[in-house]
A and B are shown apart, each in its own frame.
Chain A
Amino acid sequence: MKNSLLSKKNRKLLSDPLGDQNPITIQVLGICSALAITVQLQQALVMSMSVVFVMVCGNMIISALRNVIPSRIRIIVQLVVVSSLVVFVDQVLQAFLPDVQEKLSVFIGLIVSNCIIMGRLEAFALGNTLWPSFLDGIGNAVGYGWILLAVAFFRELFGSGKLFGYQVFPDAWYEAGGGFYLNNNLMILPPMALIVVGVIIWVQRSRKSFPEELLEEN
């Protein structure tokens, strides 16, 4: 290999998707599953880890096979690879975390049609060697994961006063304990996920260092 394993170019592959090339807030990929499962941090964490696994394995398999796959049937090959990986994840979750799997229900299956995965396979893994594809997979999946966790953090904290299922706000704050505080039930409802993501996008794009050319005109 000509350049070292963690050369500048490779580090960029890893760090870009976390910020200015984030799959959710900039490239608008994989939104569907990102919003539905962010009521609790635990679900969001399991979902992000599943996506990391599918993304990294899928990217590496497709990259290894890229010279063998005829380009006419590449979409079907990609779908088969991704859906086998997803079935595997689904079975593992059913065996070890049945209650989380039940809550995530169809959304694990929907990783198959998650556009981040198809998009990266198509745009990156088909044209690059194994190691950059591996880094690209990790970068994008983690970029997806941190947005998921950020949304879930706000929704769980303000919606039910908990983090990872543990009570954060003391009981004395609540009305039952003589306090003033009420959980904001709106945060648990689906529409708030959209609004929280909207605000994250707003904050991200308000930074001075945000590249001008990525800002949109309506």
Chain B
Amino acid sequence: MEELVNIFIKGVFIENMIFAYFLGMCSYLAVSKTVETGVGLGAAVIFVLGITVPINYLLENYLLKEGALSWLGARFSTMDLSFLSLIMFIAVVASMVQLVEMLVEKFSPQLYSSLGIFLPLIAVNCSILGGALFMQERQYSTIVEATSFALGSGVGWFLAIVGIAAIREKIRYSNVPRPLRGLGITFIITGLMGIGFMCFMGINI
């Protein structure tokens, strides 16, 4: 249990997707103009990461890794398909996003109308594919650990986009130099937020 909380906290603060790895920056910069849209996209990212990473974990451990196919019989026990992992992961991400979109539309039209436009954006959000690749690289020992990592990174991403959106809403009233407005100042603020988040480094529960 302790280990799970640790992985979660690490994903949120220390190894934050935005501030430490810059994953998902494109949509982070494009959709952070108001808090409302930021919350929508952030929630969608938590949701999709929480679904795709466990699925990719199963794929990785029962299909792709060296020796993962041994459940098919001794003949397959030395097979290593890991060079296929990139294509498999992106296929899973793209199809899951499509599936989630259809399910949400069918069962909760209200959620769909608030999340709807953000879901297709997620397929090209690198934090989702990045989540799967980090999961593969760090070799979590159980599926629960992988899920906790996924939710942690999702919540970290959510925090980051809501934070920058709130700052951008306020900065509209300040006198920023003309050429720095928009993109430039957003980059610099994100950098300063990243320096703030660095104070969590080394925390271990």
Query: Which A residues lie at the B interface, using CB under 8 A?
Result: 25, 28-36, 75-76, 79-80, 83-84, 86-87, 90-91, 105-106, 109-110, 112-115, 118, 189-195, 197-199, 201-202, 205-206, 210, 215-218
Asked if A32 and B133 sit within 8 Å, CB to CB, the answer is: no
Assess whether B124 is interfacial by the CB under 8 Å rule.
Answer: yes
Asked if A193 and B22 sit within 8 Å, CB to CB, the answer is: yes
The residues of A that contact B195 with a CB separation of less than 8 Å are 189, 191
Contact of A79 among B30, B84, B90 (CB under 8 A): B90
Asked if A28 and B194 sit within 8 Å, CB to CB, the answer is: no
Asked if B86 and A90 sit within 8 Å, CB to CB, the answer is: yes
Asked if A106 and B183 sit within 8 Å, CB to CB, the answer is: no
Asked if A198 and B185 sit within 8 Å, CB to CB, the answer is: yes
Contact of A112 among B20, B90, B184 (CB under 8 A): B90
Whether A115 contacts B184 in the complex (CB less than 8 A), given A194-B191, A218-B172, comes out as no
A114 to B172, CA, bound (A): 30
The residues of A that contact B176 with a CB separation of less than 8 Å are 218
Asked if A28 and B29 sit within 8 Å, CB to CB, the answer is: yes
Question: Nearest residue in A to B174 (C-beta to C-beta)?
Answer: A218
Asked if A106 and B133 sit within 8 Å, CB to CB, the answer is: yes
**A-B CB contacts (within 8 Å), total count:** 138
Query: Which of B86, B171, B194 has the most chain A CB atoms closer than 10 A to its own CB?
Result: B86
Asked if A195 and B191 sit within 8 Å, CB to CB, the answer is: yes
Contact of B26 among A29, A84, A106 (CB under 8 A): A29
Asked if B181 and A28 sit within 8 Å, CB to CB, the answer is: no
B37 to chain A, nearest CB (A): 15
Query: Which B residues lie at the A interface, using CB under 8 A?
Result: 19-26, 29-30, 83-84, 86-87, 90-91, 94, 123-126, 128-130, 133-134, 137, 168, 171-172, 176-188, 190-195, 198
A122 to chain B, nearest CB (A): 10
The residues of B that contact A194 with a CB separation of less than 8 Å are 22, 187-188, 190-191, 194
A114 to B181, CA, bound (A): 25
A106-B134, A113-B124 given; 17 more Cβ-contact pairs under 8 Å = A28-B29, A29-B26, A32-B22, A33-B126, A87-B84, A106-B130, A112-B90, A115-B124, A193-B191, A194-B22, A198-B184, A199-B188, A201-B187, A202-B180, A205-B179, A218-B168, A218-B185
| 11 A-B pairs with C-beta separation under 8 A | A33-B22, A75-B94, A79-B94, A110-B130, A112-B86, A190-B21, A191-B195, A198-B180, A205-B184, A218-B171, A218-B172
The residues of B that contact A210 with a CB separation of less than 8 Å are 179
The residues of B that contact A197 with a CB separation of less than 8 Å are 187
Asked if A195 and B187 sit within 8 Å, CB to CB, the answer is: yes
Asked if B178 and A215 sit within 8 Å, CB to CB, the answer is: yes
B133 to chain A, nearest CB (A): 4
Asked if A28 and B126 sit within 8 Å, CB to CB, the answer is: no
Asked if A216 and B181 sit within 8 Å, CB to CB, the answer is: yes
